[in-house]
Amino acid sequence: MNDPLVAMFPGLAAGYRITSPTSDDYNCIAWAAGRGDRWWWPGHPDGFWPPGVQAAATVAAFEAAYRSVGYEACASGAFESVFDKIVIFTDAAGVPTHAARQLLSGRWTSKLGRDVDIEHRAPESLTSVVYGAPALFMRRRRSFWRRVAAFVLRIAAKS
């Protein structure tokens, strides 16, 4: 079987599933922030970038963009039931290329450019020439009900 996503992202050979059709309404940066209605990228002519955040393709600017919606830097993408987590990827030159968001189940979700959304096991599943590697993990506290849902989903996944 020739899977084009596995060809681009060899780590997906461990498993993934497509969760939405192709769309150019939003990108991975927006998707990681929980937005599916607009494109997020600094300086994009039809896109959005948080007010007051430097419009630059740097890790510091992307970190500031996610701070504007409540995230703070953290040590890892390890699941914690009280936190939503995201990860910013960078290429070999340190330029941001991708972002992914952890789901309540502990798995991860990514929007692949203008292509599909996928659910995958770990951020490292997308380490590649295309996206580079995870460079910065961030987290924000979940609401009480999202914490309960995360707890229940994790227990169900272990059964």
Give 105-158 pLDDT, tens digit per residue. 899 999 999 999 999 999 999 999 999 999 999 999 998 888 888 888 878 877
Predicted pLDDT at 154: 79
d(CA 132, CA 109) in angstroms, rounded, equals 17
Which residues form the domain of 153?
Answer: 4-158
Pairing of strands 117-120, 108-111: antiparallel
Question: In the block, which residue shows the tokens 């599943």?
Answer: 125
Q: pTM value?
A: 0.93
pLDDT bucket at 45, cuts 50 / 70 / 90: confident
Chain length of the chain: 159
Residue 144: Cβ within 10 Å count: 9
Query: Mean pLDDT in the chain?
Result: 94
Cβ proximity of 38 and 28 under 8 Å: no
In the block, residue with structure tokens 């996206």: 131
pLDDT at 1: 58
End-to-end C-alpha distance for the chain, whole angstroms: 31
Indicate the number of domains in the chain.
1
- Yes or no: say if 19 and 118 are a contact pair by the CB < 8 Å rule: yes
Would you give the distance in Å from CA 21 to the centre of its chain?
17
CA dihedral 42, 84, 31, 69 (to 10 degrees): -40
| Average pLDDT score over residue span 12-41 | 95
> Following DSSP, what letter does each residue of 110-148 receive, concatenated?
EE-TTS-EEEES-GGGG-BTTTBEEEEEEEEEPPHHHHH
CB 101 within 8 A of CB 108: yes
**Average pLDDT, integer, range 46-70:** 96
pLDDT at residue 18 is higher than 80:
yes
- Is residue 66 pLDDT above 90, yes or no? yes
